[in-house]
Each structure stands twice: as structure tokens, then as C-alpha cells.
Structure 1
Amino acid sequence: MPKTQLARDRLHGNISTLLTFPSPFAMGNMFAGLFKFFGKKDMRILMVGLDAAGKTTILYKLKLGEIVTTIPTIGFNVETVEYKGISFTVWDVGGQDKIRPLWRHYFQNTQGLIFVVDSNDRERCAEAAEELKRMLSEDELRDAVVLVFANKQDLPNAMNAAELTDKLGLHELRGRNWYIQATCATTGDGLYEGLDWLSHQLRNL
């Protein structure tokens, strides 16, 4: 038998054996690949909050892992963030008072709401609470889970998560799945802890 034919037969035999009795390692890789392919979820996330709360800084810290120079968002920024098998399409919408009436145009099909609060801005805490309450009364957001980022925790007079929970009236959100996470957008502290909670909630949808 020619050597080339013999080599071809041996190769065919090895492949047949591998397919018939795959190794645990090969099987593990196969199932991991299948889970990655079929188990990935696409989720629409709306990120809002008053102007200068740090929304855009958070978005690009999650997307790029770095701080970018930002200007007040007049319209919106949208980016896709991949995390733990979930593809988050995050819409960062401007928070200036004249823009807020436009928020409702982004509510449809939103599965998760990230509400960003400047923890150092005590004067506008009541305003933030009112905007959050107004949004959550909208029918299109009735099933959305709510993640509050208590941002700018690096500032000396920042309110902690417990204080902001009271100020925002979060305990009054009956029948609503919510969580508050202390964050610092510039360092990234707390951002992924918040996404961990969000990932867990959205996987159960």
C-alpha cells in the first residue's frame, strides 16, 4: 500500500475514533461553544438620570475600560457592552431638563433601566426622585428591572447607598425588582457589581 494511502487511512481512523469517543476536554469545549452560541442574550438597557450625573462616563468606562472626555449629551449615545453572556445595548440619553420629556420615546422594549444619580448633589436629589417616579409610572416600563447607580462616591460629601435609597423612595417601589449600587465612574468601582445584578435578573426573564 502506498505510504500516502496508509497515512490517509490512519488519519481517517483517528478522526473516527475521536468522533465516536470524544475526550472530556473536547466535549467540554463543544458544550461551552454551544452555550455561548445559543445561550447569549441580547438586552436593551436604558440609562438615564439628571444632567451631569455621570451617565456617559459610565457608558464608555464599561465599553472601553477608560475615561473619555465628555460633553453634555443633547441627544443620545448608544453602545453594545458584552458581559457574562449578555449583550447589553445601552442607550445613554441626555438628562437636561428640556430633553427629559423625550425619554419616553426610548421606553419601548426596554428590559432594564439604569438610573444614575450624582450622590454628591444633595440639592437635586428630590428632583431625581421625582423623575424616577414619573418614569416608573409609564406602562412601557412596567416590567423593567431597575438598577440605580449611586455615582461619584469618591467625593467627600457623597451620600451613601442607604441614604440615597431613602431620598429616592426606593422602598416604596412595590412589586418592582430594583437594586442600588454605590459607584465611581472614573475608577470603575461598583460598575461591574451592578452589571452582575442586572445580568442575574435578565437571565431569569
Structure 2
Amino acid sequence: MLGLQNAGKTCLLNGGDFTYDTIPTIGFNMKKVQKNNVSIKCWDIGGQPRFRPMWERYCRGVNAILFVVDIADIEKLQAAREELHSIMSQESLEGIPLLVLGNKSDLEVKVSVDELIDALDLKGIDHREVSCYGISAKEETNLEAVLSWLVKRANELQR
């Protein structure tokens, strides 16, 4: 799970356990999630600029990349786009499915999923499956769809 700082990755990893004083992730957090017969190991990688050069190393060999974006922080969308396209251009990550999560859909002022797709130029990312969902980690909105997406990718790999 990648994304700029304050996108909500840690809250998402902790299943909606939201606090206003969440400490930024230093390095990474890891949690296992069980869904049906699939065990998902999820890495929450720090989003501060000093950790971004390490993203590619953590993503090698994974089954999917989740990129979390704060859809209420419109000023950071360009930076999110640049970081996303930078990581997706890495040859070592070619073919890994990408799920972009527009987090904080519970807030009043935000971009829509369609606006997020355009702002991040998701149609310009090729050589992989790309999906995009709006979620609220805080209110746990649409998280079942995220888990279903991940389980489907895991089941496809087992075939």
C-alpha cells in the first residue's frame, strides 16, 4: 500500500481505527487480513518524501499495488500523480495490478472517482490492470469491495 503522507494508509490498514493524532508511518507497517480462504499480507509503506525512493523495493514480487490518495486534498493530486507514474514506470513492477483508492470520501469537499481517474491520468498507465474505487477508511466505506478485488487477484494467481 503506497501513497503520499496523510492519505489514510495506516487507518485503512488498521480497519478504520481512526484518530486525529495518528503518527506518520516511519518505514512500514504490516498486517495480515483473512478473507474466505485467502490470507492477504498488506504492507503500509511510509509516504513522506524520504521513504518514496524505497517504494519500488517493497513492491517487487507483490500480487497487487494499492495506491491510496486523499481525494479531499486537491492540492496534492499533482504530486500523487507524479509519484504514481514514477513507481508504475519501474520495469521491475510491470504487470502488477494496480488498485487506486480515493480515500476520505466521507468528507464534503472532495473529487469524484471520475475526477480522480483524470487527475492521476490512470488511463495513461499501461502494462497492467488498473482499477479505482472511492473509499472512506475512517467510516469503512467500500472496504468490502477492496477486499473482494484483492481476493479475486489472489485466486487468479492460484489458477
TM-score grouping bracket, smaller chain normalisation: over 0.9
Query: Which residue, 12, 26, 30 being the options, matches 1:58?
Result: 12
Aligned-residue offset at 1:175: 3.2
Aligned residue number for residue 94 of structure 1: 46
Inter-partner Cα distance in structure 2 for 1:98 and 1:176: 27
1:19-168 to structure 2, matched below 5 A, reads 47-61=1-15, 66-69=16-19, 70-168=22-120
Q: Which has the larger radius of gyration?
A: 1
Aligned residues: 155
Check 1:68–1:186 CA distance in 2 against 1; reply closer, same or farther (3 A cut): closer
Divergent runs of 4+, >3 A:
none
- Alignment partners' CA distance in 1, 2:151 and 2:94: 19
1:174 deviation in Å? 2.5
Structure 2 counterparts to residues 159-178 of structure 1, below 5 A: 159-178=111-130
Taking only the aligned residue pairs, the percentage that are identical comes to 37
What's the TM-score once normalised by structure 1's chain length?
A: 0.72
- Higher RCO structure, 1 or 2 (CA under 8 Å, sep 6+): 2
More helix by share: 1
2:135 touches 2:143 (CA, 8 Å); kept in 1? yes
RMSD value, Cα: 1.2
Q: Distance in 2 between matches of 1:204 and 1:86?
A: 12
Q: Which runs of 5+ in 1 are unaligned?
A: 1-46
1:121-161, CA deviations, whole angstroms, 9 ceiling, x for partnerless residues?
A: 11110110111111111122112111111000111111111
Structure 1 CA distance for aligned equivalents of residues 124 and 154 of structure 2 = 22
Q: CA deviation at 1:198?
A: 2.2
- What's the TM-score once normalised by structure 2's chain length? 0.92
Gaps of 5+ in 2: none
2:14 aligned counterpart, secondary structure? helix
CA–CA distance in structure 2, aligned partners of residues 108 and 170 of structure 1: 21
